[in-house]
Amino acid sequence: MDSDEEFQFESDDDGWGDQQEEDEETIKIENTFYEADDNKRHDPQKALSQFYEVVSAEKARGDEINYRFKALQNIVILCCRLGRLDEMAQQYQELLALMDKVTRNDASDAINTILDSVSGSGASASGGAAGSGDLSKLERVYALTLTRLKQNTSNQRLWFNTSVKLAKLYLDTQEFGKLQTLIRDLHKSCTTPDGADDTSKGSALLEIYALEIQLCTVTKNSLRMKEIYPKTINLTSAIADPRNVAVIRESGGKMYMSEKKWQSAYNEFFEAFKNYQETGSGRARIMLKYVVLANMLACMDINPFDSREAKVYQEDPEIKAMSELRQAFDNNDVSTIDKLLTSSRAGILRDPLIKEYLEDLLRNIRLQVLKKLVAPYRTAGIDYLSKELNVPKDEVISLLVQLILDEKINGGIDATGGYLQMYTESSSNHMRYSKCKQWVETLQKINNSLNSRLTNMAGAR
């Protein structure tokens, strides 16, 4: 019995020793990983070496990848930061080879983190767009990712999301040919066998159309824009991402602006504003400026700053300037309008869209002001109106002609005397009677002339 007990004791001790050694090795790998994680900000070279140690240590233990996958993720990002691009690509391929051994969420998180990190490091300091060398590096990473994901058919959503990220990169870098090709591939993945849109993939279709609409906006392809824009509105079955809806509505607003359909543009910009605000995007502020612009161009009585959504931005300097512009528009205060538009502090004209429609805006404002300016008078001098509006006399006459033709005012222009004659209802009726009388007299003359000719022809026979 003593010898058996001694043998059993020694056997248990050996097993415990192996387990203790294994636990110490696991603890060492874990400690090395977290030390590297702490070092990656202030000492990336040391962190990189430590992450490599983690990868080597777990490889030696077989198929275990408790820390190896995450370590490779960090290695790829650090190699990118340090400019070791070939090494980055090599390690990224190793990470992609392990995708099937981790959960789908872990794989998606790793790829998205790497792509976002690489894309961020590729932005230039000046404006954010990647240079040609940076774009080549980014394309290489995306190519490796998409090639691997095409082989792994179980995660098509990740392939789609990665392709969309690449499409947005092409849009930012103005690689429109590559973007068009990629949009075509994405669209194929959301169609039925007969080539029609698969409405069961409404959210994905909206994302694709959002990209194509932005491409149409940048390249000014209005024909294609008009063709696909209604399709996005008709995708009612989609669980729409407000970010995509905001982009689509913004582009729709710009399309209607180019067609001078101010009321429709206002509606689209307001929808874009609400959706951007829902996602917390900074473009909500820009959309609110466009809402005000379209509102004034449409001569709407509704003040956009009365809405609950707009009140949040009342103290923003840019929005405050637009609010003052809208108030001056309501008050027919031309001098304040001119000051706000030319003020560098207000910065209204720094926005390219507002600058593009400045002439339309000014003409609309002047039409509104002129209409209210002449309302109390029976006659108004062109010189006086020119001084009040601070525009040349020719411009005043052009504005008056438009108001008369649009039947916004009832009057006539005496170009020789240099004044506007406003008609009362009785004078207007008198003029209408006089014109009818002239018309009747003219018809009578024509009739007499025809009768005379017929009589002469009969006499000749």
Question: Which pLDDT band holds residue 431 (cuts at 50, 70, 90)?
Answer: low
Q: Examine residue 148 and state whether it is found in any structural domain, yes or no.
A: no
CATH code at 430? 1.10.10
So what's the pLDDT on residue 461? Answer: 59
pLDDT tens for residues 247-281? 999 999 999 999 999 999 999 999 999 999 999 99
* Cα separation, 190 vs 332, whole angstroms: 52
Question: Which pLDDT band holds residue 121 (cuts at 50, 70, 90)?
Answer: low
Mean predicted confidence (pLDDT) in 105-127: 74
pLDDT of 127 > 60? The answer is no
Strand order across the 419-422 sheet: 379-381, 419-422, 411-414
Q: Examine residue 292 and state whether it is found in any structural domain, yes or no.
A: no
**Candidate ranges 108-112, 311-315, 453-457; pick with highest mean pLDDT:** 108-112
Query: What's the CA dihedral at 369, 372, 377, 378 to 10 degrees?
Result: 100
Q: Examine residue 435 and state whether it is found in any structural domain, yes or no.
A: yes
| Domains held by the chain: number | 1
Using an 8 Å Cβ cutoff, are 54 and 32 in contact?
A: yes
Structure tokens belonging to residue 427 = 């004078």
Mean predicted confidence (pLDDT) in 369-387: 90
Q: Which of 127-131, 221-225, 315-319, 350-354 has the lowest mean pLDDT?
A: 127-131
Structure tokens belonging to residue 53 = 């140690």
| Residue 191 DSSP label | B
Mean predicted confidence (pLDDT) in 436-447: 75
Task: For residue 457, report the phi and psi dihedrals to the nearest 5 degrees.
Answer: -65, -40
So what's the pLDDT on residue 452? Answer: 76
Mean predicted confidence (pLDDT) in 365-390: 89
Q: Structure pTM?
A: 0.70
- If one compares 9 and 146, the residue with the highest pLDDT of the two is 146
Using an 8 Å Cβ cutoff, are 328 and 358 in contact?
A: no
Q: Examine residue 405 and state whether it is found in any structural domain, yes or no.
A: yes
- For 109, the 3-state DSSP assignment is helix
Q: Examine residue 208 and state whether it is found in any structural domain, yes or no.
A: no
**Looking at the DSSP assignment, which residues form a beta bridge with residue 421?**
379, 412
* Cα separation, 293 vs 299, whole angstroms: 10
Q: What percent of the chain has pLDDT over 70?
A: 87
* Cα separation, 240 vs 278, whole angstroms: 13
Mean predicted confidence (pLDDT) in 400-414: 90
Interhelix angle for 2-39 vs 68-81, to 10°? 20
pLDDT of 134 > 80? The answer is no
Determine the residue type at 260.
Answer: K
Question: Which pLDDT band holds residue 26 (cuts at 50, 70, 90)?
Answer: confident
Alpha-carbon torsion 8, 9, 14, 17, what sign? positive
The domain of 401 spans 379-452
Mean predicted confidence (pLDDT) in 12-27: 63
Q: Which of 126-135, 163-172, 192-201 has the lowest mean pLDDT?
A: 126-135
Residue length of the chain: 461
* Cα separation, 63 vs 30, whole angstroms: 16
pLDDT of 18 > 70? The answer is no
pLDDT of 20 > 90? The answer is no
* Cα separation, 225 vs 216, whole angstroms: 6
Q: Examine residue 436 and state whether it is found in any structural domain, yes or no.
A: yes
* Cα separation, 162 vs 167, whole angstroms: 9
Mean predicted confidence (pLDDT) in 399-419: 89
* Cα separation, 52 vs 71, whole angstroms: 7
29's CB contacts (< 8 A; 6+ apart) are 54, 57, 58, 66, 67
Q: Examine residue 410 and state whether it is found in any structural domain, yes or no.
A: yes
pLDDT tens for residues 84-105? 888 998 999 999 999 888 888 8
pLDDT tens for residues 35-82? 999 998 899 999 999 999 999 998 888 877 889 999 999 999 999 888
So what's the pLDDT on residue 65? Answer: 83
Mean predicted confidence (pLDDT) in 334-352: 85
So what's the pLDDT on residue 326? Answer: 87
pLDDT of 283 > 60? The answer is yes
DSSP 13-81: HHHHHHHHHHHHHHHHHHHHHHHHHHHTTT-HHHHHHHHHHHHHHHHHTSS--TTHHHHHHHHHHHHHH
Using an 8 Å Cβ cutoff, are 349 and 358 in contact?
A: yes
Mean predicted confidence (pLDDT) in 346-359: 89
Q: Which of 161-170, 184-193, 352-361, 427-436 has the lowest mean pLDDT?
A: 427-436
Q: Examine residue 385 and state whether it is found in any structural domain, yes or no.
A: yes
Alpha-carbon torsion 357, 359, 360, 365, what sign? positive
Question: Which pLDDT band holds residue 285 (cuts at 50, 70, 90)?
Answer: very high
Give alpha helix (H) positions in 220-333: 222-234, 242-258, 262-279, 283-297, 308-311, 317-330
Using an 8 Å Cβ cutoff, are 199 and 235 in contact?
A: yes
Determine the residue type at 291.
Answer: V
Task: For residue 237, report the phi and psi dihedrals to the nearest 5 degrees.
Answer: -80, -10
